[in-house]
Amino acid sequence: MVHSKYVNGYLVYYDDYEHRWLKAIGPAAREWEMRYGTDFTTAKEYTNTQIGTSPTTQGITAGIRAAMLTTTTEYQGAQLQVVGTPFQIASGKPFYFGAKVSVDQATESDFFVGLAELDTTLLATSSAHALNHTNSVAFFKKDGATATLAGTVTAGATVAAAFTTGDHIYEIMFDGTAMHFYYDASLVSTITSGWPTVVLSPSIALMSGTTTALHGLVSWMRCIQLP
Amino acid sequence: MSTASKLVNHTGGTSLVFHEHGNEARWYDAIGTNTRKWEMRYGSDFSDNIEYALTLVGTTPTIAQGITAGKRAAIATVGTNAGDGLNMQLVGTPFILAAGYPLYFGCSFAPDNVLADWLVGMGTLDDTMINSSHALAIDAEFIGFYGIGTNAVIAYSEIHTDTVSTTCAGVSSAASHIYEFIYDGVSSVKFYMDGVLEATHSTFIPIGVLSPSFVLQNGSAAARTGTIDWMRVIQLA
């Protein structure tokens, strides 16, 4: 059920969960949503970085906005970042980030989704599976494991539920003071400091952990911030 | 004319649908976690295979952003052979008519002359939905409206040559007309032209994945133009 409320004088529509923002209406609401019919040509709407031949295309399966595909080589994959860095975490400016994504390999995969600084290698491309940037708030899963971390680059809380191949919803809600991380609508972590203060872009990355090609399907992904 | 809203139940929950006041069949927007929305946008990139897959027949037909205020796309068939024109489909096939997922399709389209072949609706990927002999030539599945060289408008649904067609009481002209259909999420599709219910089909409704689709071709040996005021699909999921 869709509900609405006022936050900072803006009309915010949300789903059954108050943290799941769908739309905000106001003179300076900052909204971004991955759209059907997106142009994934690099530097148009997204910086589309392919490590190896790892294309992202419009969805063929109904309901899918983006289909990401990796090569069959470990450390190769697809990464998208919205061109520009339209968001910045700041005290008193609530924001919401949410994405519904499925990955077809639970263990042998690197996966990242959230807000990050611009970096064409958010994930390490050799030597060891790890984050390879400094500033983000996100969910991250490392190859060889099914544990998902939620938080910043330097401080991630482990999500209790193991990463699986089905659709999962990853959400971050900053209420202007504290930042809450939700996995499939369940609160998994809250932090009150340590988030980056640099400008950030909605980001998603998927990388093969073995010799199997991976598919990542994005059902939806959106970010809303109130001034 | 003003805007009203209602809550609509569907498999994924309940979504807020904005519609024309007094016309619940004309959806403007919907808000829901997983709402599937597509709308031809101002500033579209009409380069082939970026936002749309284009099939061009004859001497370089064109589609461009509208120059006239309010127009999202301006199409010119350019060539003067019968059948010259343009077949356009959104890249990807992001929609499917599945139980529990109500869907709205709408398009306001104006040809410059009724002697045009045209089609608006949703189809499986198909680069020749109308052939050069002025005949509908759907490869697999389509649902929507078409006209072939006259002012007659046909509401149509097809699955692999099994078809249902209804000749609308409304007729096309060299002016904007609104073509809409609503899938109820159960078993039937209602077709509206200019807000008037023209047909209800409950058989041979497409079951495959579909893309918003548009065709404009010459219906005679003369070049034609057309404009799209707006075109959108909203599905509750």
Predicted complex ipTM? 0.91
List alpha helices for A21-94, DSSP H: none
Q: CA A225 to CA A28: how far, in whole Å?
A: 9
Rounded Cα distance, A70 and A73, in Å: 8
Would A23 be classed as within a structural domain? no
Cα B10 from Cα A189, distance rounded (Å): 32
Choice between B68 and A97, residue whose per-residue pLDDT is larger: A97
Instruction: Report CB contact under 8 Å: A2, B209.
Output: no
Q: Is the pLDDT of residue B191 over 80?
A: yes
Selected residues 210-229 of chain B with any CB under 8 Å from a CB in chain A: 210
pLDDT of A14 over the 80 cut: yes
Domain containing A211 — which CATH number? 2.60.120.560
Q: What is the pLDDT of residues B103-130, one digit of tens each?
A: 999 999 999 999 999 999 999 999 999 9
pLDDT over 90 (residue A63): yes
Question: Is B45–A44 a contact, with Cβ atoms under 8 angstroms apart?
Answer: yes
Tally A–B CB contacts below 8 A.
75
For residue A157, tell me if it sits in a domain. yes
Cα(A84)–Cα(A47) distance, rounded to whole angstroms? 9
Domain containing A205 equals: 30-225
> Which residue of chain B has the CA closest to A18?
B33
Establish if B200 touches chain A: CB-CB under 8 angstroms: no
Written as one letter, the residue type at B73 is A
Within a domain: residue A133? yes
pLDDT above 90 for B9: yes
**Average confidence (pLDDT) over B171-189:** 97
Q: How confident is the model at residue A141 (pLDDT cuts 50, 70, 90)?
A: very high
Percentage of residues in chain B having pLDDT higher than 90:
97
* Nearest partner of A35 among B183, B49, B185, B35, judged by Cα: B35
Whether A205 is covered by a domain: the verdict is yes
| B115 SS3 class | coil
Q: Is residue A7 part of a domain?
A: no
Q: Of B16, B34, B93, which is closest to A60 when you measure between CB atoms?
A: B93
pLDDT band at B67 (very low <50, low <70, confident <90, very high): confident
pLDDT at B1 over 80: no
Q: CA A161 to CA A159: how far, in whole Å?
A: 6
Please tell me if residue A22 touches chain B, with a CB cutoff of 8 Å: yes
Q: Do A16 and B13 touch (CB under 8 A)?
A: yes
- For residues B98 and A117, what is the distance between their CA atoms, to the nearest angstrom? 39
* Longest pairwise C-alpha distance within chain B: 51
Number of domains in chain A: 1
* Residue A143, in any domain of the structure: yes
Structure tokens at A5: 């409320």
What average pLDDT does range A37-56 have in this prediction? 95
* pLDDT: which is higher, B168 or B12: B168
Percent of chain B with pLDDT over 70: 100
pLDDT of residue A64: 96
Contact A227, A221 (CB under 8 A): no
Q: Which residues, 6 or more positions from B69, have their beta carbon under 8 angstroms from its beta carbon?
A: none
CA distances from A197 to A88, A115, A152, B12, B75 (A): 6, 12, 12, 36, 47
At residue A58 the predicted structure's pLDDT band, cuts being 50, 70 and 90, is: very high
Sheet of B13-20, strand order: B3-10, B13-20, B23-31
Task: Enumerate the residues of chain B whose CB falls inside 8 A of the CB of residue A57.
Answer: 92
Query: Largest Cα–Cα distance in chain A?
Result: 51
Q: Is residue A182 part of a domain?
A: yes
- In a domain, residue A140? The reply is yes
- Domains in chain B (CATH in brackets) are 35-235 (2.60.120.200)
